[in-house]
Structure 1
Amino acid sequence: MAQLKPVEYNDGEQKLSGLVTKPLKALKSKAGILILPAWMGIDDHSKEVAAELSNLGYYAFVADIYGVGNKPNNTSEAGKQAGFYKKNVLDYQRRIQLALDQLIKNGANPDNVVVIGYCFGGTGAIEAARSNMKVKGVVSFHGGLGKGEARPIETINAKVLVLHGADDNYVPETEVKSFQNEMRTAKADWQMIYYANAVHAFTEKKAGNDNSKGAAYNENADKRSWKAMLQFLKEVL
């Protein structure tokens, strides 16, 4: 099994602590995957994803967005932390880039990198594409899609895959349509897959299975979205 090791790095005076895992048998391309966790910060799910990707031959790095000492203790704190980075998008992009640098320092080929993210991290994956970081593609699992209307739309070079719950009420239809129009204007190579009966957080087993709560696990959507991501990775890497 893949071993995850802590990696200490910095954003100015703020200490950051991510996790890296190197494949026992790397792909010839030395492809790397940057994983952006959901709003609670580095969690069991992001660690499991890193280990699974490492077992498939990818270098993987789990980003620390909030920094040492700032991990939320509850969803209220997580909402405030995530909300800060959604509003201060340049700070979010900088933390993503710093994590990307660590992925490459730890062996990944800088020409063969994909960013994936879950919920808040899915928003971050799309921000990596919007800011044209040097990545081949980005994958958002049940992530927020919104972008402030005042922000200009730039051409997007990375390929974009959005994996979305068909019944996700956290992302209103107006936000979905605005995002799709943004992708067209940005001349992006994008695709969006909807999963039936799936709401927010459909890959998170700890979310329970009560769709009426707005966030719930969906086994079908989890398995199908994982397969869709693996197919995307093979295509772009």
Structure 2
Amino acid sequence: MKSHYFFTFFLSLSAILNVQSQLKAVSYSDGAQQLEGFSGKPKKANPKKAGVLILPAWMGVDAHSKESATELNKLGYYTFVADIYGIDKRPKNSQEAGKIAGYYKTNFKEYQHRITLALEQLIKSGANPDEIAVIGYCFGGSGALETARANMKVKGVVSFHGGLGKEASRTTETIQPKVLVLHGADDFFVPEAEIKGFQDEMRNAKADWQMIYYADAVHAFTHKDAGSDKSKGVAYNENADKRSWKAMLSFFDELFK
């Protein structure tokens, strides 16, 4: 019985290591700041060699973003997990994460620049520069919207439980990329005023946008390590996780048809 247990454990461990090995660490830089993202290539690319840039949540490059990359590789997409902070700037806890993420939200031009650098790495990996989408989680979801606001050369962006607001002093430009927002219906970290402001922005920007709400879901509903206590405002929701992934794939079918 013990030998069977250890054999099963060994197979599971091997499967995990094999998934991680599909992603290749890539060193790149922003001036003197060293960055390290992760590139993934499909065994069989889709006909258009479409690529997806993944913007992680506020802790930076994490297992969740890598898992998303690997799953998309299986579906034929090139992927790149962006490093927004830098290899020596990764936060050690949520307090540090809130501080550094807040910096990039305020200094959005710097955030947009780091996204641009990551897009370059995605294209270098083999993705078609004319067939690109950007997705992001939480802080990365805010980054996905910044990609659209900057009208980067991408076909569409997807925000999973991301922040939606921008400073009132910023002008609203016409938005070219298509926008999909996947939002927890009970996410109290994103107030109603911010939601209304975002929707008004999308209308004024003449954007092609969609917003889907998921019942009983709060912030970080796709993160399996977020626990299940909704009262904290951060919790995993299996239904919302699966439904939002399907919504993203349907959106991709439209973008890359």
Q: Which bracket does the TM-score occupy, shorter chain normalised?
A: over 0.9
Alignment partner of 2:164 out of 145, 152, 164: 145
The aligned residue for residue 116 of structure 1 is 135
The aligned residue for residue 100 of structure 1 is 119
In structure 2, how many angstroms separate the alpha carbons of the residues matched to 1:112 and 1:58?
A: 10
Give secondary structure in 1 for the equivalent of 2:126: coil
CA RMSD for the aligned pairs? 0.6
The aligned residue for residue 234 of structure 1 is 253
Alignment partner of 2:101 out of 82, 88, 91: 82
Letter in 1 for 2:243: R
The aligned residue for residue 10 of structure 2 is none
| Structure 1 residue 95: Cα displacement | 0.2
In structure 2, how many angstroms separate the alpha carbons of the residues matched to 1:4 and 1:68?
A: 17
Where do residues 5-44 of structure 1 align in structure 2 (5 Å cutoff)?
A: 5-44=24-63
In structure 2, how many angstroms separate the alpha carbons of the residues matched to 1:22 and 1:227?
A: 21
Return the TM-score normalized by structure 2: 0.92
In structure 1, how many angstroms separate the alpha carbons of the residues matched to 2:232 and 2:194?
A: 20
Alignment partner of 2:144 out of 125, 128, 146: 125
More displaced stretch, 75-84 vs 2-11? 2-11
In structure 2, how many angstroms separate the alpha carbons of the residues matched to 1:161 and 1:170?
A: 19
Alignment partner of 2:84 out of 65, 68, 74: 65
Q: Does 1:217 align with 2:232?
A: no
More displaced stretch, 2-11 vs 58-67? 2-11
The aligned residue for residue 55 of structure 1 is 74
Give secondary structure in 1 for the equivalent of 2:37: strand
Give secondary structure in 2 for the equivalent of 1:71: coil
Cα-to-partner distance string for 1:52-100 (whole Å, 9 max, x where unaligned): 0000000000000000111111000000110000000000000000000
The aligned residue for residue 192 of structure 1 is 211
Letter in 1 for 2:206: K
Alignment partner of 1:136 out of 155, 160, 164: 155
In structure 2, how many angstroms separate the alpha carbons of the residues matched to 1:154 and 1:16?
A: 30
Cα-to-partner distance string for 1:172-202 (whole Å, 9 max, x where unaligned): 0000000000000000000000000000000
Q: 5+ unaligned residues in a row in structure 2: which ranges?
A: 1-17
Q: Which runs of 4+ in 1 moved over 3 A?
A: none
In structure 2, how many angstroms separate the alpha carbons of the residues matched to 1:108 and 1:234?
A: 16
Identity of aligned residues (%): 70
| Structure 1 residue 25: Cα displacement | 0.2
Letter in 2 for 1:161: L
Give secondary structure in 2 for the equivalent of 1:154: coil
Give secondary structure in 2 for the equivalent of 1:135: coil
In structure 1, how many angstroms separate the alpha carbons of the residues matched to 2:140 and 2:31?
A: 22
Letter in 2 for 1:44: A
Cα-to-partner distance string for 1:116-164 (whole Å, 9 max, x where unaligned): 0000000000000000000000000000001101000000000000000
Which has more helix, going by share of residues?
Answer: 2
